[in-house]
Structures are given as C-alpha cells and as structure tokens.
Amino acid sequence: MSHHYFSLDLFVGKPGRLLSQMFQGEYKNTMDGKGRINIPASFRETLRARYADEHVIVTRDYDGCLRAYPPKEWEQSVLASVRRLDINDPYRRSYERYVVSPAVSCLPDKQGRILLPATLREYAELDKTVLFAGGANHFEIWDIERRKTRIKEDLAILKKGPPSC
C-alpha cells in the first residue's frame, strides 16, 4: 500500500510551459534602502496563473521570517481558522495580535517589487540580501543567516522521523 503525502498537480500555463500550482524554489533577491524587494518571477507567475492576482498579504511567522499569502489563501488558511475560535479565546487574541494585526496587503509595482514596512523588516531582521522560499499555499521571506539556522533545526527534526499517529 502506497501513501501519498502531497501532489504537485502540474498544469499547462503559457503554450508548452508547465507551471506548478505551488510556490516552489528558493531565490535570493536584494532589497533596496526603502525596503522594496522583487518577488521572484516564478512566484508572480504562480500568483497570476493560480489566483489571477499578484496581491499578497505579508505578515510575521513564528520562525522569525515573513510569510506571504495570496488573499484567497489568507482568507481560507488564516482568517477562517481565527474566526472558528471564540472571540475571547486567549489563543485567538494572541494569534490576532501576532499574525493578523501586522499583516499588510502588497501589490507589486511595474518592476515586480513590493514594499515591506519597517516593522516587518525589523522583525525578520531583513537587511540587503533576502531569501524567498516557496510553500504549498504561501511563500516565506527570510534573512539568509536565520534561514540557514532554521534549516539545520528542520533537518534535526526530520532525522527523528514523523510523529506517531
């Protein structure tokens, strides 16, 4: 019996070109002094092809990076889960303060750049060179050194194997 944990679900976009419905890959980009950074072209292509919109909602992540969601995924993954909790639930209130409150909507300019607010740049310790890392329904924006540290931690977790069901 074979188990499939996920599917890449490829589809055809532009003639003869395969696109993934996920944000895949890791890309280094340079942020300018004003906090503008280019979203990788393949991520913008996924936004257009899968969501018909290049807007992203950018917020804090628990791991010290920033997380960017297409508005549809933000609504379905983040806001819907928050709304299921009682308004006075301490977890909901903390989550709203930590993740929802700092979120900003960003639309890339003609050069494909988004402006990251100073508060989010400071939180993620972003300087000049940043790393974009893909995910199933979002992508992350990392300080390079923080990412290296996190990957080492992730590898240690993965070597232990999945949790027992």
Confidence at residue 22, expressed as pLDDT on a 0 to 100 scale: 83
Low-confidence ranges of the chain (pLDDT < 50): 1-19
Can you say how many angstroms the Cα of residue 5 is from the centroid of all Cα atoms in its chain? Answer: 20
Beta-bridge partners for 59 = 67
The pLDDT tens digits of the residues spanning 98-126 come to 999 999 999 999 999 999 999 999 999 99
Q: SS3 of 154, please?
A: helix
Confidence at residue 165, expressed as pLDDT on a 0 to 100 scale: 66
Confidence at residue 35, expressed as pLDDT on a 0 to 100 scale: 97
| Nearest in space to 76 (alpha carbons), one of 132, 136, 146 | 136
Confidence at residue 16, expressed as pLDDT on a 0 to 100 scale: 42
What is the residue extent of each domain of the chain?
21-160
Confidence at residue 66, expressed as pLDDT on a 0 to 100 scale: 98
Matching CATH number, 21-160, of 3.40.1550.20, 3.40.50.300, 3.40.50.150, 2.40.110.10: 3.40.1550.20
